[in-house]
Structure 1
């Protein structure tokens, strides 16, 4: 049997062609990756937006579905029993607060009762912190009736809407010019502290 001297060359050419094709497509793929990286580089994609908290009215409407939800509203008072509430201090305990879409709301059907776990009572219980009434808060917990109100039970997170999680209970604050000291004021003044709420240095 006579060897065909061309068969060896054919196999080498075939292998060389396969290698060239592989290198071509590998190079094309790398170019594609580089172009995609340039087009979709940092800042070219919009950041993922967190879902907005539910309003109190939305949370009330969603009660029958249960589940976990984040709700934002104004603290307006304290539930004292089944569909009964107190909207002025002193408050009986630190176990719950009522929130609403308006800081002046008092209609039971528009209120959401938030259970306060023991770990949050020193910060958010109204017996201890009556100054929280009128402030906006964000709560994450389980939707469900509480004290016969629509409610949020077993919260895993409670925070003031500004992001402050530890409201300052000390009313002693300097005036804008650095003098004087703010004095205690009651709930009727909690929203807008005027000149009468300041102890001026020359008369204190």
Structure 2
């Protein structure tokens, strides 16, 4: 009996000691964020949190701007706030859920702030990067994260209410590329589209360019006028199908393909369409009486401010979509005007400026989505990622 008591007492002492030992162990700490230098050295696709100072927005492999930010889609981090050497920066892709809070166009005051960002250590703009980001936080604040309800299945296809959020699906082979490599990747993505006939374009435009405030009308590109969908035709005040990439630039006419691609076909006042003709895009000229805010001269056309970016992104799309490898003409953006019947369109430097000055608005994003969902099943990548234009042509 005495032996049993001593055994029980020893067991109780042992348990008490274990409990005390557990109570005095330090709590587990979260993994220490990587420095930017470490992140650059570990581009292996692993998910990690990187801590660094916001030093600007990358627009190309070796270009980071520190003011006049063109979009909310990317930022650059460095280990010091004064860093200017792009080789010591990591480029961060800002996924759609975080653009309103961490995009530099909307939040320029973030420049110089220290952030913790979680994502995959993988190239962006052909540069050491952090992509598919899932959490952002200023250092010392609670991270903002993306979550999926546990009672719902995870989907790989973003909802149509977020037209720019296709990076992990539609654009997955383009993410992280720049220059000719990016252009080739985008061509391979967007060239597999459904083709329309020129007659089918009429009804398509009535859906893609519908007036959000009056579903019986469409919005005309150059005038901005809301006009009845049934008011299409050939009379001076009717609306017709404007080829933003002038169809004589490459002589593709209205044949199925570039001549019927609704990513660059828009409803336009008949007489304004005739005044624009096949002119290239550039600055200046005389005011267009029937389309206030537009200007023209002998060889160029300047659209109103509200659609300057729209025009630029349609021209960018046509250049990338039609590369001559699938039986269609090879269209190329250049920095000239008066291109005539050559398969070129300009002026590139001005269009790049317009792309930055007039970012995609709700109307343009909705139009892109309608084309993707209901008609051609392809997207204009420069509406989803305006920063890809300077990444290709800068």
Q: 1:41, 1:56 → 2: CA distance?
A: 36
The reply on whether 1:79 has 2:61 as its aligned counterpart is no
TM-score with structure 1 setting the length: 0.64
Q: 2:29, 2:12 → 1: CA distance?
A: 32
Q: 1:164, 1:36 → 2: CA distance?
A: 35
C-alpha contact (below 8 Å) 1:83/1:148 kept by paired residues: no
The reply on whether 1:49 has 2:68 as its aligned counterpart is no
Q: Which runs of 5+ in 1 are unaligned?
A: 1-16, 167-204
Residue aligned with 1:159, SS? strand
Q: Which has the higher contact order (CA 8 A, sep 6+)?
A: 1
The reply on whether 1:31 has 2:18 as its aligned counterpart is no
Q: Could you say which structure has the larger radius of gyration?
A: 1
Write the mapping of 1:1-204 to structure 2, written as runs, cut at 5 A. Answer: 24-38=6-20, 40=21, 42=23, 44-63=24-43, 65-88=44-67, 90-163=68-141
Q: Which runs of 5+ in 2 are unaligned?
A: 145-394
Q: 1:84, 1:34 → 2: CA distance?
A: 63
Give the superposition deviation at 1:28: 2.3
Q: What does residue 14 of structure 1 align with?
A: none
Residue aligned with 1:77, SS? strand
TM-score with structure 2 setting the length: 0.34
Q: Residues 64-110 of structure 1, C-alpha deviation per residue, up to 9 Å, x if partnerless? A: x331111100001001133322111x211100100101111111111
Q: 1:35, 1:150 → 2: CA distance?
A: 50
Give the superposition deviation at 1:35: 3.3
C-alpha contact (below 8 Å) 2:36/2:90 kept by paired residues: yes
